[in-house]
Chain A
């Protein structure tokens, strides 16, 4: 009697282990001796992975990014793939929860053996796997977050950014605000993590350490931000900079309106997509978002005459079941395009090393309005931004693009990258 339990525990542990074993019996598909050395690459396929918030607090808006990337890859695959290889794209849901990201990314790297991670989304989620992917020497490309964390080539040689980083973006917004609204009271509303901290640091670099009359933060776990918005109203804030994800940008604008408070909003590109915001704000969107300023660096989905937008709309109709076309769609397809461009540049038989060399060469330019910062000693994504404003329900670019080098905000006068034939990299 006394000895039975431990024996049974032992038996259960054994059986548990066996169950674990059986759950991992995933056959390695189609590996070829020649390509065997490179994980995720066979003669006919390239497998890449990403982690995305398909559910959870950041799902609204962002959950359409990976289907857009998938649609672009499908389009490329239908047009012969890259050097005869089709791109297989694994997108795993992490619910914007770093704990889920950790197991999702481990599964993709250790079990699915992806060639690279492409466009993993979110500062907190991606921070959680940064060491892991670099320890495993997996190219970690185009992280969908504006944190400068991704630009540390010495510490994280495998990680590359994509978005304009938050300090750059906030410097541009603050510089514009100083020109356009010189004597107003500036305030800040942001996410209580690196996103908010870094954005705020950029603002303070331009406006001075006492340049913000009020700085309020929110936690994604708590959707009631009435206290913060009231405090900003009390403080007499007239120009509010926002380091927010879309749901909280909408929440801020809506909550303020309920309080009869209508300041000038100036949002990060991460939380300034008109279509996504209108999904939250409903029928009052046009009134609430009139004059809303936000930064961006990719072709604007509202520019129907733009070559990139025309092509992406076509692809969206054909490969994405005609899903709503907005800034997130453009974002997803642009990441897809950039990866295809890099893969092509990596040569006939790409390796992880040749992929990184391709990026460092500076020959991979993407489709943004400003240059990418990729080189041997920089893994910075887009180096600047242009501002958009909402007017009568249409969000479009105005003024010129800016690039930022250190604290120095400059107008960018260089050419935008032209679209290659059929939107397929040469």
Chain B
């Protein structure tokens, strides 16, 4: 029943967002599509880092893998004369599979690493991306990247539905599907195993869980979700280029996950919205201020980065469980809800330690005496 209800809610969200595209302007539809693509990557990161405790800075590289797989598959299909829904669905499946395979390869190595070593390793992936694309520029198109053949919206919809609205439809459906799958996984046996391995691999192993396999599986799942995001970006922007998947973007994805609340998938939604809306709002704000033109133009590119950093610092200081954690707390305070049942998404186990200093520390018994002394 609960799984059914989850699907029902997911479907309702999809229907609502698709309905929304009929009233919002095209550009906002485009932003919605972008946010959904980002959401796939961020949600994957939430599973890997939030629930799995594996810190990855390489999510952008996995999204790039999805985008390039999409591009290569779609272009190959187009060359072969394939049209229609196949040209839409096959490259998306390929994007998920391509990123998943890369995730498996990385995961096999990354499963042996932890903490800063894993972070460094995954960061190297993103840093190496431009070198890889220019080394294989005959296939991957170098700095310029690849131009993607896309199956445009069905002829029947032309005139009533804009290109951007159609892109938003596709992105919403895919993102909702990714969220539903990830939510099911996290709620089920796999999620429990993942958290067990994160909190105490030895205990998990004693309980019959294979920690290495669980970690690799988390990497593959997270990569596949990122691949879906990359595929959607390739579709909406009609291109796959190394510049779109820079180290900065990779850090932004992690920041978005942390700011949104890395303990829960819902937090990923906030993170994705922020990632899309913030630069836009700042750009709009600076253009309304009476700044000298060249200053305003420079701020347009840089200010959003600075403010995003500032938001991150504030969130870590003031709301260590992210926006979602803050909202849950407010929800409880306002008395709409009895705070008797602990809310899973705000539960300490779900948050990574670096971002959540004030949480009660359950898994480090050494600290317990100090706490007791205080009492």
Contact = CB atoms under 8 A, between A and B. Distances in A.
A221 B237 CA distance: 21
Contacts of B237: 99, 102, 128
Nearest to B141: A193
A131 B180 CA distance: 34
A213 interface: no
Contacts of A204: none
Contacts of B134: 192, 219, 221-222
A395 B283 CA distance: 38
B131 interface: yes
Given A3-B6, A54-B298, A107 B28 contact: no
Q: Contact size class for B? A: 35 or more
Interface residues of A, dominant DSSP: helix
B143 A193 contact: yes
A70 interface: yes
A93 B300 contact: yes
B156 interface: no
Interface string A130-155: 01100100000000000000000000
Interface string A1-15: 111111111111110
B244 A6 contact: no
Contact of B280 (A23, A52, A220): A23
Interface stretch (B263-271, B308-316, B354-362): B263-271
Interface in B175-194: 179-180, 183, 187
Contacts of B272: 16
Interface residues of A, number: 59
B300 A26 contact: no
A21 B28 contact: yes
Interface string A340-357: 000000000000000000
A111 B24 CA distance: 11
A98 interface: yes
A99 B180 CA distance: 28
A158 B241 CA distance: 25
A318 B16 CA distance: 53
Given A127-B144, A135-B163, A24 B25 contact: yes
A66 interface: yes
B122 interface: no
B170 to A, nearest CB: 16
A392 interface: no
A6 B297 contact: no
Contacts of A54: 297-298, 300-301
Given A54-B301, A219-B130, A99 B143 contact: no
A156 to B, nearest CB: 13
A110 B30 contact: yes
Contacts, number: 183
Contacts of A1: 341, 344
A270 to B, nearest CB: 15
A13 B284 CA distance: 23
A225 to B, nearest CB: 12
Contacts of B341: 1
B13 A13 contact: yes
Contacts of A9: 9-10, 13, 179, 183, 265-266, 269
B203 to A, nearest CB: 24
Given A9-B9, A193-B143, A221-B143, A93 B298 contact: yes
A205 interface: no
B144 A124 contact: yes
Nearest to A66: B297
A222 B142 CA distance: 12
Given A3-B5, A20-B35, A23-B277, A110 B164 contact: yes
B25 A111 contact: yes
A400 interface: no
Determine which residue in B142, B143, B187, B273 has the highest number of CB atoms from chain A within 10 A of its CB, and name it. B143
Interface string B275-294: 01100110110010000011
25 contacts: A4-B343, A5-B187, A6-B5, A9-B266, A10-B13, A11-B266, A12-B324, A16-B270, A20-B31, A54-B300, A55-B298, A96-B243, A97-B243, A98-B243, A102-B239, A106-B164, A110-B25, A110-B27, A110-B164, A124-B241, A191-B143, A193-B144, A219-B143, A220-B143, A222-B130
Given A5-B265, A20-B277, A135-B163, 14 more contacts: A2-B187, A3-B5, A6-B183, A9-B179, A13-B16, A13-B269, A17-B32, A20-B35, A52-B297, A106-B164, A107-B280, A111-B27, A124-B243, A221-B130
